[in-house]
Amino acid sequence: MTDEQTRGAAPTADTPSVPDPGVVVGERRQLINLAYRLLGSLAEAEDAVQETYARWYALSREQQEAIASPGAWLSTVAGRVCLDQLGSARARRERYVGEWLPEPLPDRGEWIGGPTNGGGPADPADWVTLDESVTMAFLIVLEAMTPAERVAFILHDVFRYPFPEVAGIVGRTPAACRQLASSARRRIRAARAPATPTGAQAGLVRDFKRAWEARDIAALAGLLAPDATMTADGGGLAGAALRPVVGGERIARYLVHFADLAPGLTLLERTVNGRPGLVARLGGRTATVAAFDLADGRITRVWAVRNPEKLRPWTAYEPEREPEREPHGR
């Protein structure tokens, strides 16, 4: 047997004869959570989990019976699949049109995929637990890491895998994995801005929305840090600045110009990757999902995802008329 086939095997008479299919399928939530954080893309995470299950079902009955912990086996394989995907993703992103941003996720309370009629989640986005490790700022820092750093850090610091298990996934020694995670941790600390309470961020985003709706350049610039940066991701499929826009006033003018070119644009306050953000809809469709980073009471970063392929969780269900709601009321 290969290392993948034998992981978790316990050569005792107490080993279950056949792994419970429900237990195997029940690992999907954990695998999607892991893969999304490792890859920053829900679509790629789905592919990784699909490949993981394909490898499980390719095992013979005897090989499955020899695995005492299907969950541990699946997580190990998913980690290795993601590590391989991260290597190839770097090459793909070098050919990407414009800036590449992680795929934004809605709050679990949003409509995603339509009603489930009491069944299971209708979309893989429903599986992702929103916490600090999926904020856009956090995922952006992860993108700057090497694949091995990212995998070692996420497995150990986020999912609490011991370093000997991380080593088996990454293909390094436990000591090397400890160093990788430590290096990743330093990157996170260096990039992390002081935490802003959710209510304060919601209020600032709401003021930003109102200023944008009013086409008030001065008000927008006042809410942005002088050295703020806006990064847009159109992927060549939607109009977007190919390079980051730097400077609060330049961003304000860009946004007002964008709104002038899109009459009928509707802005909605929404939770984006666990933090207050904005969704722009045009003609009944989601056109942009924006996430923000703040420091010292001003917006320092704006990440605007416009690539329609990354907005699937936001467009799967869009009623013709949707009342604006303020989930983070102040």
Domain spans of the chain, in order of start:
1-95, 198-315
**Residue range 24-32: mean pLDDT, rounded:** 90
Residue 23 confidence (pLDDT): 77
Residue 124 confidence (pLDDT): 67
pLDDT of 212 > 60? The answer is yes
- Cα–Cα distances (Å) from 320 to 138, 286, 315, 317, in that order, read 34, 12, 12, 10
**Pairing assessment for the beta strands 285-295 and 275-282 based on DSSP bridges:** antiparallel
Instruction: Report helix angle 70-94 to 42-58, nearest 10.
Output: 140
Per-range mean pLDDT, top range of 21-25, 193-197, 248-252: 248-252
Report pLDDT digits (tens) over 246-288.
999 999 999 999 899 888 899 999 999 999 999 999 988 999 9
Per-range mean pLDDT, top range of 24-33, 47-56, 60-69: 47-56
Q: Which of 18-27, 183-192, 211-220, 243-252 has the lowest mean pLDDT?
A: 18-27
pLDDT of 320 > 60? The answer is no
Residue 317 confidence (pLDDT): 46
| Residue with the larger pLDDT of the pair 193 and 47 | 47
Residue 92 confidence (pLDDT): 82
pLDDT band per the 50, 70, 90 thresholds, residue 152: very high
- The span from the first CA to the last CA of the chain, in angstroms, equals 59
Residue 284 confidence (pLDDT): 85
- Cα–Cα distances (Å) from 52 to 26, 32, 87, 149, 198, in that order, read 13, 11, 17, 21, 36
pLDDT band per the 50, 70, 90 thresholds, residue 197: confident
**Residue range 92-111: mean pLDDT, rounded:** 82
pLDDT of 199 > 70? The answer is yes
pLDDT of 22 > 80? The answer is no
Report pLDDT digits (tens) over 109-143.
543 333 333 444 456 666 688 788 889 999 999 99
Q: Which residues lie across from 246 on neighbouring strands?
A: 229
Residue 18 confidence (pLDDT): 61
**Domain 198-315, architecture per CATH:** Roll (3.10)
Structural Rg of the chain based on CA atoms: 22
Residue 123 confidence (pLDDT): 64
C-alpha 210 chain-centroid distance: 27
pLDDT band per the 50, 70, 90 thresholds, residue 203: very high
Task: Report the chain's mean pLDDT, rounded to a whole number.
Answer: 85
Q: Which of 15-29, 72-86, 111-125, 214-228 has the lowest mean pLDDT?
A: 111-125
- Cα–Cα distances (Å) from 162 to 57, 150, 156, in that order, read 27, 15, 6
Other beta carbons less than 10 A from residue 118's beta carbon:
5
In the chain, the percentage of residues whose pLDDT exceeds 90 is 66
